Amino acid sequence: MPAALLEAEIERLFWSHVIDHPDPAITCWLWNGPMREDDYGRFFIDGLEIRAHRFAYESLVGKIPPGMVPDHLCSRRRCVRHLEVVTPEENTRRGRLRTLYASRGRALPPGFRTIIPDDAGLPEGGAWI
């Protein structure tokens, strides 16, 4: 099978496991395929496990630079849409802040990156899906 045809089939199979969030007010695209124990989606290519959000990002935006990780801006590990590539340290910092504010029943500070409106532009020097 030609490589381009194989790539198209892998893409089709991947996206067949993605659904819209049941709440129309939430714009997440949710992974509806196999899940890991840590609640991240998993996808297999030739027996190799790939996290669903990483595959989605690379499929739509491009390669994730070395030393960077995709951050779920919506805090939903099943989401394959609201992603921004950041350093692992920034990803951890954001996760801790989200947890801290949520545990206190408080809203996140103004300008804190969480769910992105559909009409938002790209951040300076970055990209999200």
Per-residue pLDDT reduced to its tens digit, 54-92: 999 999 999 999 999 999 988 889 999 999 999 999 899
Let me know if residue 116 belongs to a domain.
Answer: no
pTM of the complete model: 0.77
Q: Could you tell me which residue, 14 or 111, shows the higher pLDDT?
A: 14
Q: Any idea what the CATH number is for the domain that residue 56 is in?
A: 3.90.75
Let me know if residue 125 belongs to a domain.
Answer: no
Let me know if residue 108 belongs to a domain.
Answer: no
**pLDDT tens-digit readout, 34-56:** 999 999 999 999 899 999 999 99
Domain count across the chain: 1
Q: Could you tell me which residue, 25 or 67, shows the higher pLDDT?
A: 67
Let me know if residue 40 belongs to a domain.
Answer: yes
Residue numbers of the domain that contains 35:
3-103
Let me know if residue 25 belongs to a domain.
Answer: yes
Distance linking the first and last C-alpha atoms of the chain: 30
Let me know if residue 122 belongs to a domain.
Answer: no
Strand partners, 18: 31
Look at the chain and count its residues. Answer: 129
